[in-house]
Chain A
Amino acid sequence: MADPATLLPLLLLAPALVVVAGLAAAGGAVTSGDRATAPVVETLRLLTKQRRRTPADDPLLARIGLTVLPVAAVLALAVVPVGLPGTGAPVDLEVGVVWFNAMEVLAWFAVWTAGWGPNAVTALVGGYRTLPLGLAYELPHMLAIITPAIAAGSLDPARISAAQHGLWYAVWMPVAFLLYLVSTAAMAFWGPFAAPLGRDLAGGAGAEHAGLDRLLLHAGRWMLLVAAAAMAVPLFLGGGAPPPITGPDPFSGPAWSWFAIKLLVVLALLLGLRRVMPVLRMERFATLAWVVLIPLAVAQALVVTVVVLV
């Protein structure tokens, strides 16, 4: 760790994630019929806006949660092999998959405390919606993450990505890939899974936050979405390697460029999901998750395990 060369990627990670999250938000604005400049204008607007308190609130609690959100996104991304020289990840961690999942779960805490802090009904109900949301998406999500790890025999994202030299896991285990995409959106409480910030609750956990507080919530959400989408690349799309179809003498290009292209594809799929689905009510999503998604995820993990063992 003492080597400055290993620290540099870590220091650049946060600004890089902010930029990509901004691009993703611009894409989101365009798909919803807005201008591409909307996230920039919105950021300036929230930076020039007063923060806000409510009667008998707990601003410290809320702001701890709001700050945790972008920090968790950066920490999650730190173990993702993004195509840097060496193993590809800013931090090379043997149990990277576990670390990644632990950072994602911090978002539960973040939304809950952000909703709890203002001492207001709509914010509190919004914060509590994280609970049914988490209970619904987390099991399919963990099974979807663990399935590539079973196939590769490692919890290290770099080794999982290297194990896909012949066949992408997105092709070999398509159900796990689809479940990962869906649960990525749910984990970032974004798009069809935005119920904790629902319009029916006047913005839910974010209803009473203004200015910088609101910016942290919305920017943190996009950063989390991008970080989770980034993990799909090493887990399912072969990481920084060129697609297998380019054969033995391909235009290989630097690993980070392939990573970037694949990340854009994953983000485009997620934005498409928002276009076709309304916001799901939590009781509907919980039913769907436990009746359909979890059995599918278990079946997929079982098939992969049997093939690996045999």
Chain B
Amino acid sequence: MVVSVLPRIAARRPHVLTIAPAPVTDDLLAVRLAAESEIARRGWPVADSPADADVVLVAGGLGRRMTALVRSVWATVPRPRVLVTVRSAGELGPGLDSAQERLARGGDSSDRDRVEWARSADVDLTDDNDGPPGVIMGGAGAPVMAGLADDDRDGLALDALHVALGPVLPHWPAALVVHALLAGDLVTDARAEVLDVPGPREVTRRRDAYTPDHVRLDSLVRVLGLAGADRAAARARALRDGEPAPGELAAFGHRLARSRTLAWTLGGIPLAATDHVAVPEPTVEARVRALAAGLGGSLAPPVRPAPHRAAAALVGLELGAARLALAAMDPDTALGAGPVEPFRPAERHEHHHHEHHG
């Protein structure tokens, strides 16, 4: 009796890991936004990592690389676990309901996994991916190559790690992978790749569906969430997903732009480490203030850089600062990037001086 009650209680508050493809169409973007909104409405926590997840939610149809990625992430999610795929915003409610129900019954068994996979994958799963190995955040799962960094900030040669950051990280742009060279926690090289969307490419959006304020609020949700300003992040998300009055938006933006604690904690992160000028604002703090101050006004939408430009601006930053910088720049992954050659130790010096932007 107790055995059946415990999973039921535990399933009342499942942690959800959302994996979304690059928003190459407005519909794909709509599914991702609706998923975030629905999870927040249910009061379900967002999983920080695969280890923290009960439900893996695939929001939108995936291409070959993303499918391979979901498969390798899924393999590292501890049981009980449930995988659910939705293709439109309308499928979200029933999909999450059924996910919770299955979790309460002990999660997907391995047979179930296979059935679910056959349904969710766009590609033939017997076709083993011939591209680079499935990238997982944190390097657990993908082999990590170690070498020696020659230009560390302390003049010490630390181990340099080649890691693929993303796309399964909290508040990370959809489908983006940053192939980074880390010396300790310092990013010394970074190249962007958008899975399944080689770039650069043109993208056209319906102007009426997403206003400049939507774009600003979506970027702010990420920055505030990463900065641990949870209440402000929740407010920004509610404004993004609801239909706020213009006054509300301006008031929220005004309050954010004036927040001293936020300005202080975001301070001192440059956005122009290299010659690549990704966004007009020189620092994360200025970028966030500009995003906030523009809310509820009639300004043009904020500049969202192409992924390769955003990645170039991360070089020289500490990992935590780089995360905030990337969230503040909020590159548009629909523009595509890459593909990037997988790292090979023998070519190390090549990679150091060779810009590869596809």
Contacts and interface: CB of A to CB of B under 8 A. Distances in A.
B342 interface: no
B234 interface: yes
A279 B12 contact: no
Contacts of A120: 138-140
Given A192-B228, A199-B171, A201-B319, A122 B138 contact: yes
Given A281-B320, A283-B268, A210 B54 contact: no
A281 B320 CA distance: 8
Contact of B228 (A42, A122, A194, A202): A194
Nearest to B318: A283
Contacts of A165: none
A298 to B, nearest CB: 23
A293 B228 CA distance: 22
A214 interface: yes
A38 B13 contact: yes
A281 B185 CA distance: 13
A228 to B, nearest CB: 20
A38 B163 CA distance: 35
B6 A203 contact: no
Contact of B6 (A44, A128, A192): A44
Contact of A277 (B226, B261, B319): B261
Interface in A26-43: 32-35, 38, 41-42
A141 interface: no
Interface string B1-41: 00000110111111000000000000000000000000000
Contacts of A276: 261
Interface stretch (A48-56, A156-164, A172-180): A48-56
A208 B10 contact: no
Given A33-B231, A42-B13, A203-B48, A51 B78 contact: yes
A308 B328 CA distance: 52
B8 to A, nearest CB: 10
Interface string B213-247: 00000000000111111110010000000000000
A34 B184 CA distance: 36
A34 B144 contact: no
B61 interface: no
A50 B48 contact: no
A10 to B, nearest CB: 31
Contacts of A50: 78-80
Interface in A98-128: 118-123, 125, 128
| 4 A-B pairs closest in CB distance | A279-B228, A203-B48, A50-B78, A45-B10
